[in-house]
Amino acid sequence: MNAIASWFTDPMQFQFFRHALGAVLIMGLLCGALGTFVVLRGWSFFGDALTHAVFPGVVVAQIVGGSFFAGGLVAGLLTSLAIGVVARSRRVTADTAIGVLFVGAFSLGVFLLSRTVSYRQDLSAFLFGQVLGVSTADLVVSTIMGTLVIGITLAIFKELKLAAFDPVSAAAMGYPVFALDLLLLGLLTVTIVVALKTVGNILVLAMIVTPAATARLYAERLSSMMLFAAALGAIEGVLGLFLAAHLDVPPGSTIVLLATAVFLAGLGLSPRGGLPAYLRQRRASAAERPDA
């Protein structure tokens, strides 16, 4: 019993770990909640692209000593806008525009970063996160942004639900469906910037998609799926951080690996698609065969 307690309390004596814990908690909640919409709308590719788009922004912020959050937000929103404009051309579909512009933005980030002295160290922090280097200021900004994102999402929850389930009827009821989509993308951009510090550019997509995909296997309502995904994201983040501390491995990848394992287990045990359904089917077809 004591061993389990100290497994959790030992790392807590370090301030940097307590900060990391807070950051991971916010990241998990936010990513899970917003990831619900990404998974249901089939926006994984869009989410992936957004994570690349914010990259040059955070690099420029780092170089000029500006705010990490502001840089990422501006770059993400600018690139999203550019996508919208380019995709208006009849010869360029939206996914092509995304493919071209977002990876272009990412390369711009790498290019800019390569001009700095501490290139390698910075690149690795950007790509894989630096959760153990979260400052008190970072934590405060993350908390404010996270509260704002969750608050807005809950405030327009029923409108988001309608526009995602049945966009044509939503438009017929007079809802600004396109503006709602843009708002959702804006909220997603904020979520990505908040998560960037914790799990890094490469891994943030996993935290957006994986807990929500796991929740999707079980939830029958949007509200329960969102709650479940947020809780899963937070729990996986926290457990992954402790695991990483004890095993002395990088926290970002540990968290993502844990989330992936939980998803695979969830898939296996899911009442609709997994092992139970498979066994049910086998038993049913065995019963149907006359010679069985």
Partner 1 sequence: MSQSLPAVEIVDLTVAYGERVALRRLSLTLPPAAFVSVIGPNGSGKSTMLRAVAGMVRARHGGVRIFGQSVQRARGRIAYVPQREEVHWEFPVTVQEVAEMGRYSRAGWLRPLSHPDHAAALDALRQVGLADRAGEQIVNLSGGQQQRVFIGRALARQAGLLLLDEPLNGVDAASQDQVIHLLQRQVGQGATVVMATHDLEMAGHVSTHLVFLNEGRLVAFGPPVEALTAETLRRTYGGQLLFHEALVTHRPVDVGAAHHERHR
159, 260, 262, 267: residue in contact with partner 1 (rule CB under 8 A): 159
7, 119, 165, 178: residue in contact with partner 1 (rule CB under 8 A): 165
- Quote the least distance from Cβ 89 to partner 1, whole Å: 12
Give the binding-site size for partner 1 (rule: CB under 8 A).
25
Q: Which is nearer to partner 1, 40 or 82 (CB)?
A: 40
How would DSSP label each residue in 57-91?
Answer: HHHHHHHHT--HHHHHHHHHHHHHHHHHHHTTSTT
CB 208 within 8 A of CB 30: no
- Quote the least distance from Cβ 228 to partner 1, whole Å: 11
CB 212 within 8 A of CB 186: no
Q: Which is nearer to partner 1, 172 or 269 (CB)?
A: 172
Per CB under 8 A, the segment of 16-24, 161-169, 239-247, 248-256 that binds partner 1 is 161-169
Q: Which is nearer to partner 1, 21 or 208 (CB)?
A: 208
Q: Is the dihedral of CA 78, 84, 89, 95 positive or negative?
A: positive
Q: Which is nearer to partner 1, 81 or 172 (CB)?
A: 172
Chain residues 83-142 in contact with partner 1, contact rule CB under 8 A: 90
* Binding track, positions 211-230, relative to partner 1; x by CB under 8 A: -----x--xxxx-xx-----
- Quote the least distance from Cβ 234 to partner 1, whole Å: 20
7, 16, 158, 265: residue in contact with partner 1 (rule CB under 8 A): 158
Distance, in Å, from the CA atom of 280 to the CA atom of 292, rounded to the nearest integer, reads 16
CB 88 within 8 A of CB 71: no
161, 183, 227, 257: residue in contact with partner 1 (rule CB under 8 A): 161
Report if residue 246 touches partner 1, rule: CB under 8 A.
no
For residue 262, the tally of other CB atoms under 10 A from its CB is: 17
Per CB under 8 A, the segment of 77-85, 121-129, 153-161, 275-283 that binds partner 1 is 153-161
Q: Which is nearer to partner 1, 197 or 216 (CB)?
A: 216
137, 144, 173, 179: residue in contact with partner 1 (rule CB under 8 A): 173
Cα R_g (the chain), whole angstroms: 21
Residue 289, SS3? coil
- Quote the least distance from Cβ 224 to partner 1, whole Å: 8
Q: Which is nearer to partner 1, 132 or 152 (CB)?
A: 152
- The three state secondary structure string of 183-198 is HHHHHHHHHHHHHHHH
CB 180 within 8 A of CB 155: no
Copy the structure tokens of residue 194: 């908040």
How would DSSP label each residue in 82-149?
Answer: HHHHHTTSTTS-HHHHHHHHHHHHHHHHHHHHHTSTTHHHHHHHHHH--GGG--HHHHHHHHHHHHHH
Give residues in contact with partner 1 (CB under 8 A). 40, 90, 155-156, 158-159, 161-162, 164-169, 171-174, 216, 219-222, 224-225
